[in-house]
Amino acid sequence: MSFSDYKTALVTGASAGMGAAIVERFCKEGLTVHAVARRKDRLQDLAARTGCIPHELDMTDYAGLNELLGNLEVDVLVNNAGLGMVGNLTTLGEDDINNMIDLNLRSVLQSVRVVLPGMIARDRGHIINISSIAGHYNFGGNPVYHATKSAIHMLSQQIRVDVLGKRIRVTEICPGRVETEIFNTNHGVSSGEEAHKKFYEGYEVPSAEHIADTAAFAVNMPSYVNVGLIEIMPTFQVPGGLTTLKTK
């Protein structure tokens, strides 16, 4: 399948960054794109620029999510909405943990639960889960974020097993550092300008448009080709690494 085989897409976390870039790219490919996010003003600007259909919705409002998705025929579902918070299990609060689990994992499970039966009935569909290298590799801090993204990795694999025999494809895209607004809050900075200086200035990193191009590449493969897992990160970034501390 390619873009010509699909009619509609739904992208979550669409008001900025990778979500907005994917909406714009998919609209250019001729899909009717439903853009879901909380920030109404950003959605209106995106709709004016791209022609997408905006939906102001908190992805953790599961009743609203069920109502929206239950009334749509979605060929391409892009689960992009996510939340990252710095801290480990001794410093994060109960709400911090629940908020990450609710948005990063539970909303994805609910979205797939509602959309997948229609894809199965139509014998066509593509689910794109925007995960993270944090779901595959350990690095300092934030075990809850790592845990939620690791769960998305396993979910992506499991959906493929569950839909075997149907023309439904599942792609997990795992970005490393990408220039978006994710570091603007709760990462030891007080503004987007400070975040840009700390995390991006002097670095060569992919843009949100590169992630959109990657998603488009996966969708545009023939129906018999499933691009299952893509890691995309700066050339000058490597995942993992071994740290050993001296005890004496």
Q: CATH number of the domain at 3-184+207-232, please?
A: 3.40.50.720
Q: What is the pLDDT of residue 8?
A: 98
Q: What is the pLDDT of residue 189?
A: 61
| pLDDT-derived band at 196, boundaries 50, 70, 90 | low
Q: Which helix (H) or strand (E) holds 175?
A: strand 168-175
DSSP state of 191: S
Residue type present at position 198? K
Q: For this structure, is 203 an active site residue? A: no
39 token code pair = 């920030």
For 23-70, the pLDDT digits (tens) are 999 999 999 999 999 999 999 999 999 999 999 999 999 999 999 999
Lowest mean pLDDT among 19-28, 67-76, 119-128, 188-197: 188-197
Q: What is the pLDDT of residue 73?
A: 97
Average pLDDT rounded to a whole number, residues 7-14: 98
Q: Could you tell me what percent of the chain has a pLDDT over 70?
A: 93
The number of beta carbons lying within 10 Å of the beta carbon of residue 82 is: 25
Task: Say whether pLDDT at 138 is over 90.
Answer: no
Of 62, 137, 145, 224, the active-site residue reads 145
Residue ranges of domains in the chain: 3-184+207-232
Bridge partners (DSSP) listed for residue 229: 172
